[in-house]
Amino acid sequence: MAAIAAQEALDLKSRYPQVFHRPLRQKLLAPLAAVAAAAYLVFCFFFFNVAGVISDANWERAGTYIADWYSWEANPRFRFKNGQVELEWARSLLGDNPDPDWINQPREGLYIVTLGNSGNRVEIAEGQVVAVVNGRAFNVPITEAGAELPADAPSNMSIKNGRVTVDYGFVGLAEIRNTQVFVRHRFLGWPNFFFDTHSPFFGMDTGELWTSATSAPQIDERMPNWQLMLVEFLYNSEWQHLDVFNKMLQTIVMAFVGTLFAAMVAFPLSFIAARNITPNPVGNWFMKRVFDLLRSVDMLIWALFFVRGFGPGPIPGIAAIFFTDTGTLGKTNTEALENIDDKQREGVRSVGASAANVQRYGVVPQVLPVFVSQALYFWESNTRSATIIGAVGAGGIGLKLIEAMRTNQDWENVAYMVILILIVVFVFDNISNALRSRLIGAR
């Protein structure tokens, strides 16, 4: 590009002084905005005591919860009683009488617990515990006051209040006391996801399941084996698949019905609120304030209100979605109506059409794609929102989710339901996007 002459540059500056000679406040606007944003972030950092929250956080517990999402723990407890060692199970997915291959009893009163494949194990006998770390043995003295830390203990061994903890990383740990040894052994996966330990199919691999379903002797005379598999899966006592699916379906229905009713009610009311459609200032003002009231109260608050009024169940959830979305869709629809092109309406009116036909053929074709697109978006969004309001008693998967979180032990069930919610939201998001694309493309 050729450089302009000096005189041409002067002419441009004289003709457009607002471009070349901006006021000082305009020049400082961007730097001041950046400084203000940084100052606000610093204020929030100290106001919310972010540093204190981070320092006081229990990261170890958080890591345990996260690990519970994709793995499970076996918790054997070895108690010292009357000169012997008694094995108890605090919690196990291995069945009522587990006999895992990683716990051996070479002789009476001695247990060897193997943790992982790196030579890590714990040898437990009355009054004597040996922790083997990476093939190196450490004798942990047991006294009446508690367990004692070995003099040459490695970095993964610690003591607190007479309890020696040997941390083997992901595979688990051993907590040694003067009365017992508590072991936490972690494994990847969910072994009882498809069938619980009481099912005849528990522990079978894919080939064994296929053989059992197609050619093995019938296990239950009332139904074939493949049907029994389906029943055992749906009525899994640990994962409760049928109940989870029912609650997920409840959530989908809540989102669909609530959004549908809201769209049906907001459609005619937005015509009253639009100033260019209904030239009545009082009616316009009143209807817009109704929309403001409905959408200013959060969906969660509406859900709490209706749960108190109607009791737990999907009806309060549908009502909460209906009230909130009526206000929001009413506002967006009103704004769409107030921004239409009046030429189409004037054209329909010029041929002598009635007032109803003017709206039907001059207004609705312009705004209908916007209305439907907004309704589809809120339908997809409410699938997520219905999960939250379900947690306060409005039914659906949210109620099931909060129940699993309250136990502080069923985080694998929480992960299962979260994954299921993500899949449903993903599917409905794609369906909504496809319908909106078709609708806008057909306009």
138-189 confidence digits (pLDDT tens): 888 888 888 888 888 888 888 888 888 988 888 888 898 888 899 988 888 8
Distance between CA atoms of 249 and 245, rounded to whole angstroms?
A: 6
Q: How many helices (H) and strands (E) does the chain have?
A: 16, 12
This prediction's pTM: 0.74
Would you state the structure tokens that stand for residue 16, as one six-digit string?
């457009």
Element housing 361 (H / E) = helix 355-362
pLDDT at 409: 67
Q: What is the 3-state secondary structure (H, E, C) of 186-209?
A: EEECCCCCCCCCCCCCCCCCHHHH
Coil, helix or strand at residue 96: coil
Would you state the structure tokens that stand for residue 418, as one six-digit string?
């979260």
What distance, in Å, lies between the first and last C-alpha atoms of the chain? Answer: 43
- Banded pLDDT at 1 (limits 50, 70, 90): very low
348-404 confidence digits (pLDDT tens): 777 777 777 777 777 777 888 888 888 888 888 888 888 888 878 777 888 888 888
Check if the beta carbon of residue 373 is closer than 8 Å to that of residue 440. yes
- Banded pLDDT at 96 (limits 50, 70, 90): low
Would you state the structure tokens that stand for residue 214, as one six-digit string?
């197609």
301-349 confidence digits (pLDDT tens): 888 888 888 888 888 889 999 999 999 999 998 888 888 777 777 777 7
Identify residue 145 by its one-letter amino acid code: A
Q: Give the Cβ contact number of residue 214 at 10 Å.
A: 10
32-63 confidence digits (pLDDT tens): 889 999 999 999 988 888 888 888 877 777 77
Check if the beta carbon of residue 254 is closer than 8 Å to that of residue 316. no
405-435 confidence digits (pLDDT tens): 877 667 788 888 888 988 988 888 888 788 7
Residues 6+ apart with CB under 8 A from 371: 263, 267, 329, 333, 336
pLDDT at 300: 87
Provide mean pLDDT across the span 184-200.
85
Instruction: Give the distance, in angstroms, between the CA of residue 221 and the centroid of all CA atoms in the same chain.
Output: 42
